[in-house]
Structure 1
């Protein structure tokens, strides 16, 4: 089924629903019926053999499940004598027969339709006297695997999801990550592993703890098949939203994946893959969403299991659970001795710097950097997602860094790589094109520093740009114009993001200005600190605390001292600071010249009005 045929068919069904259903609810009917028809077509060739096997094994008192799976040649089966062709042969009993047909499926398939709340839609369609017409339309669509491959079916399903997401923009971002963002993440995930992934028969696992409708898993699979059709990617995921879970599970089923690898529930409180480790992982967790509902479970695991659990390094503030998903993914990394793992996760700006030294956020960053897990952070353009316009970043982590990356982290500013969309979708107004994805992937893969050269005409308008890698000469300036260079990719030692937060004390003085000294206990004879004069200083790890104190503090406060017992280690990644380009203000002569020109124009206008 090509895209044109798909569009024609979808809207022919939508025409039947119009009036009885809101546009935003069309997907509640079309999505489950599409899944049902595909499964019906897949099972058709083995239908008779499965029914015969079911009858024989049931009569013999043997558990028929493994035999039925073998006969079906799939990870699912149906024991009902009905199929969609037979369903439309009995118009008067269509609802009862459709219920019976659904109940004949194996447990995983029934679960999909339960999450879709398909029974409620059958009732609603029956009451509207639309059930037979809708069933008949789908029964006549040919979705047999010899006509539509698993890959094509997955793309058709994705197109359906996209269309229905667009019809309800207010909820699109909850279960739909832009395809070009996923493509970039997938490229970053696999770019250094082409040699491994090109081997015939290679099998790798991938996991998404916030799977949504399965878009990230599907695009990762497309990448592998495109580069090596003899490779196999085993997909795993977990999703909290029932409808998104049903869509994801159905998509995996359509593509021939083992749907038992897709679990339902809250990943933070109910790990559906406890103890499992994966080769690759992807995630786009919700931005800035509080985790109060699962706080008890998360804190219990943190306090009782420590580093033997998922949240050993620390806990972020309850208002944002993004870093909990980061730690969850770290816990799923395969040990380096067994080949290690790499994962990419989308986060907002908060995890880069929120929380001072000793806070949960800082301790999580400390764990990541001191264990040399962070490979790169890539800034994305704003207005990239359907439900938010805030700045977002892709973090890439690995416990199998190649030698040239060890002890270092790469920052890439991809915020200027975008083009405006012809039509906004919710908050999404920008998209990244294939060429820009390739540039960012290449910068990451080459692990090099680079600048972006902007070519400006005499009026200061940008007329072109070029990526200038380390060691390359910048392009020539246009006639009368200039070249403006801005950092694009930078490499830092992990230590560069660390600091010591020192507490600087000043002596307490009495009314006469005399220094107060302790008179009893442990503080006897010691200078007493004036709490109102207490200050803190962040000293980079690369700088000696004592030297910093002598050079930066004592010249301004000769009576100050450091309370070393209060010193804390902290980590933050001030991303934007590292890409800020200082532009000196214009000279007074330039400003004066411009003012004279403006004044001259105003005087001319006044003269014209007076004439």
Structure 2
């Protein structure tokens, strides 16, 4: 499927919005379209083994087993899938008279991980609204006649379709998108910076790599990291991990990962700082866009307890920033997840995190922020800081920076920090999306990543090749 084709499929699915207009706000369209797209994709994937699952379910019903054990037996009948559904219904068979109750019954018969996604989408609430507006049957019919089978659209291409729908949803509700959705140009830039230095290693046979995002949002970084490695080495195994605080964003992320064949048990819901649900895991690559300038007062006691009781055995031994901004807490959290360097097995970790100016400039000598920065520099973990143009994000126009950290620096980078001024390198959008008025083209992203890879000192990056050498 070409880019044009997946865009056409996504546009066709998004045309459901024509039915919703007038009864739903524009910012609500995605809350209907995304879960219905997931539902249709899941039932198309399950169709070839549906009869086998139903037969297996008749046997399982007679066994006095816990739900988890029954589910494992049913999954065997799916021939390797990570989810199943034991209902005889599908979107075509829901009927019109009792469509809402039939649809709810259909959803409840999915296996636990898939069922949970619909719960966090608040799917029952929105199907109720659709039913009240006499739209539920029309929407169901629209999706029931849309072919989303693997024979037509592979997992990879279905992931692209879903990502395009997520983008449309974020843009239609751009007043809140910035909290849960990182613009795709920033995602591509950060991913290129983090993975680009490891191209040789990523092209080796039989590699297995892990990607983690502690503020996963809708899963943009996890998808982009997987995509980058896939383009370089289709046979590489990429396992994604993430945690997200917002239930709806968590549902979108988990749905996207399920569509792409990832193990969605690795996607967690909850506050990463106060309740790290992947506490004992280390990762190869980490990417994050934590919320800018958000205070951590509600979890202050848990953070301070970990700092005082565990010190450097915990995540926050280097110090604590002021309560009004938790950005550096996320950075220290990521640093605690780094694998120890091992040249023989290409171990060690790389981090890309997007921050505003506060972690760079806030705090005088001896403050928590200053002590954290001192620790990072003395440990020689900071590889580069890239200053981005303003007006790049949906919900803020302030200055932002990409920090690149690594505990496996190349010899020429040891003891140094590469500062890249890319503030003049952007293009103006035809139409603003919230506060986002500028974006990075592929050529502009390439200019930044090439300068980073070449480890060259210039005053200000431009596309015209006239950057003044320092």
Asked if 1:18 is matched to 2:17, the reply is no
**Distance change >3 Å, CA 46–CA 95, structure 1 → 2:** same
Who is 1:346 aligned against? 354
Distance 1:138 1:131, change over 3 A: same
Residue in 2 that maps onto 1:331: 336
Structure 1 position 444, deviation (Å): 1.4
**Contact 2:19/2:135, CA 8 A, preserved across alignment:** yes
Structure 2 match to 1:56: 59
Structure 1 residues 453 and 394, CA gap change in structure 2 (3 angstroms): closer
Native 8 Å contact 2:383 2:404 kept in 1: yes
Partner of 1:86: 93
Tell me how far 1:57 sits from its aligned partner: 3.1
Distance 1:79 1:175 in 2: 33
Counterpart in 2 of 1:158?
Answer: 163
2:294 pairs with 1:295: no
Could you say which residue in structure 2 is the equivalent of 1:41?
A: 44
Specify the alignment match of 2:245 in structure 1.
240
Structure 1 distance, partners of 2:181, 2:70, is: 39
8 Å Cα contact 2:421-2:460 kept in structure 1: no
Q: Which residue of 2 aligns with 1:535?
A: none
SS in 1 for 2:42: helix
Distance 1:392 1:307 in 2: 28
Structure 2 residue aligned with 1:187 = 192
Please report how far the alpha carbon of residue 156 of structure 1 lies from its aligned counterpart in structure 2 after TM superposition: 1.4
Unaligned 5+ segments in structure 2 are none
Shift of 1:30: 1.0
Asked if residue 436 in structure 1 is aligned to residue 441 in structure 2, the reply is no
CA contact (8 A) 1:341 1:398 kept: yes
The answer to whether residue 405 in structure 2 is matched with residue 397 in structure 1 is yes
**When the two structures are superposed, what TM-score results if normalisation uses the length of structure 2?**
0.94
Separation in 2, partners of 1:407, 1:6: 47
Residues of 2 paired with 1:334 and 1:436: CA distance?
A: 32
Runs of at least 5 residues in structure 1 that lack an aligned partner in the other structure: 455-463, 469-484, 488-611
The structure 1 residue matched to 2:76, chosen from 46, 70, 89, is: 70
Aligned residues: 459
The answer to whether the 8 A contact 1:50-1:79 is kept is yes
1:301-325: per-residue Cα shift (whole Å, max 9, x none)? 1111111111110000011110000
Contact 1:115 1:243 in 2 (8 A): yes
Q: Which has the higher contact order (CA 8 A, sep 6+)?
A: 2
Give the Cα–Cα distance (whole angstroms) in 2 for the partners of residues 382 and 452 of structure 1: 15
Structure with greater strand share of residues:
1
Match status 1:427 vs 2:412: no
Distance, in Å, in 2 between the alignment partners of 1:254 and 1:8 is 19
Q: What whole-Å deviation, never above 9, does each CA across 1:283-339 have from its counterpart, x for those lacking one?
A: 000111111111111111111111111111000001111000000000111112471
| Cα distance in 2, alignment partners of residues 23 and 402 from structure 1 | 49
**Structure-1 residue corresponding to 2:290:** 285
Aligned to 2:123: 118
Does 2:30 align with 1:27? yes
Q: Is the 8 A contact 1:28 1:116 kept in 2?
A: yes
**CA-CA distance at 1:60 after TM superposition:** 4.0
Residue 448 of structure 1 deviates from its aligned partner by 2.5
Structure 1 outlier segments of 4+, above 6 Å? none
How far apart are residue 465 of structure 1 and its match? Answer: 3.1
Q: Which residue of structure 1 lines up, in the alignment, with residue 371 of structure 2?
A: 363
1:257-276 alignment, distance < 5 Å: 257-276=262-281
Partners of 2:378 and 2:171 in 1: CA distance: 43
In structure 1, what is the equivalent of residue 326 of structure 2? 321
Check conservation: 1:452, 1:467, Cα contact below 8 A: no
2:11 corresponds to which residue?
7
Partners of 1:451 and 1:467 within 8 A in 2: no
Which residues in structure 2 correspond to 1:567-582 (within 5 Å)? none
Q: What is the rounded CA distance, in whole Å, between the counterparts of 1:212 and 1:2 in structure 2?
A: 23
Contact preservation (8 Å) 1:355, 1:362: yes
The Cα offsets for residues 125-173 of structure 1, whole Å up to 9 and x where unpaired, read as: 2222211111111111000011111222122112212222222221121
